[in-house]
Amino acid sequence: MAGGSTKAIIAAFFANLGIAIAKLIGFFITRSSSMLAEAIHSFADTSNQALLLYGGKASSRKATQRHQFGHGRERFFWSFVVALVLFSLGGAFAIFEGIEKIRHPHEIDNPAVAIGILLFGIVLEGYSFRTAIVESRRIKKPDQSWWNFIRTARTPELPVVLLEDAGAQFGLVFALIAIGIAVGFDAPVWDGIGTLVIGVLLTLIAVVLAIEMKSLLIGEGATVDDEDAITHALTDAPEISRLIHMRTQHMGPEEILVAAKLHFDPTISVPELADAIDRAERRVRIAVPSVKLVYLEPDLYEDDHRPERDQLAEDRDEHH
């Protein structure tokens, strides 16, 4: 796992652990449902960071006879589990608790303690969120929106941490506003409303994460920039006259598989053909270091391949 991802995860882990303990203590003092929802949310986030770290370690295992392409997709799988944990322990619990407190509101004890803990949480979450943003900017394109980065990133941990931290910050603000209204206007029902809003927010984030991780688990191709670089590297040789068609797939965040059919100069010998294929593989790995596996097949160019290539180009343009 990349160093930036690990740094962001560790920062989020310790921030969430400290916030979770503080919120839980705050709940026992104040009996605020918003505080309890936030405590469960922070404990869920803490467990999520542990799952992401485990996924990074598990993905580095060597390939085996059973898993011959390695374990790179472990990172996608555990990121998907994070979405499930966020939905069940965070969103669903907060929605249930919010509805219950709206139906049966009660006064908040020691509101000053609750407000102080929430402000403390905002500071710690701000540090974690800032770390995630700084590390994400190392791989994010300057002209790329944050939403597009989350939708297209092949490294799952940074989008997960970004969304979790953003959700945590908004959740803390919602809880602070809800408790402030509940105390200031003597309307304890707002504590339940704040809890319900937090639950809905976490559920939406969990759904977005689940959709993105599902796409990665199924298998996404290389990015447009990487695919263009691979295409140029393959065809940048006089003995290769045409790229007939190509397939790419991320076997892990930093592991791309490339399979392509190429039309070679028909006058070269078999040994020259083998050398040309080896050189093409080297060019691809230099152009895109994430490419680990390359399978190249010499073939004759026929117009029968054209509809397939045209459809792939249309699909790529439509997606991006």
**CATH number of the domain within which 236 lies:** 3.30.70.1350
Q: Which two tokens stand for residue 190?
A: 């707002």
Asked if residue 235 and residue 88 are part of one domain, the reply reads no
Given 171, 194, 218, the domain boundary residue is 218
Q: Are residues 28 and 164 in the same domain?
A: yes
- Residues 175, 234, single domain; the answer is no
Pair 14, 37 in one domain? yes
Please report which helix (H) or strand (E) contains residue 286, including its range. Answer: helix 270-287
Same domain, 213 and 244: no
Q: Which residue from 74, 16, 19 is spatially nearest to 48, judged by alpha carbons?
A: 16
- pLDDT tens digits for range 147-205: 888 888 888 888 888 888 888 888 888 888 988 898 888 898 998 898 898 889 888 98
Phi, psi of 77 (to 5 degrees): -65, -50
One-letter amino acid for residue 39 of the chain: A
What is the secondary structure of 155-208 as a DSSP string?
A: -SHHHHHHHHHHHHHHHHHHHHHHHHHHHHTT-THHHHHHHHHHHHHHHHHHHH
Q: Of 186, 202, 218, which marks where a domain is finished? A: 218
Rg (CA), the chain: 25
Nearest to 133 by CA among 119, 149, 151: 149
> How many angstroms from the chain centroid is the CA of residue 167?
14
Nearest CA-CA partner of 13 in 35, 57, 44? 44
- Shared domain for 82 and 151, answered yes or no, is yes
Give yes or no: residues 96 and 238 share one domain.
no
Q: What is the CATH number of the domain that holds 76?
A: 1.20.1510.10
Range of the domain at 244: 224-319
Strands of the chain, DSSP E: 240-252, 255-264, 291-298
In this structure, the answer to whether residues 125 and 234 fall within a common structural domain is: no
The chain-wide mean pLDDT, for the chain, equals 85
205 and 61 fall within a common domain: yes
Domain boundary pick from 218, 236, 263 = 218
Does residue 75 sit in the same domain as residue 192? Answer: yes
Report residue 315 as tokens: 């699909």
Chain segment 203-234, per-residue pLDDT in tens = 898 888 888 888 888 888 998 889 999 999 99
Same domain, 120 and 233: no
Q: What confidence category does residue 315 fall into, taking pLDDT thresholds of 50, 70 and 90?
A: low
Amino acid found at 63: A
Region 253-275 average pLDDT = 91
pLDDT at position 317 over 60: no
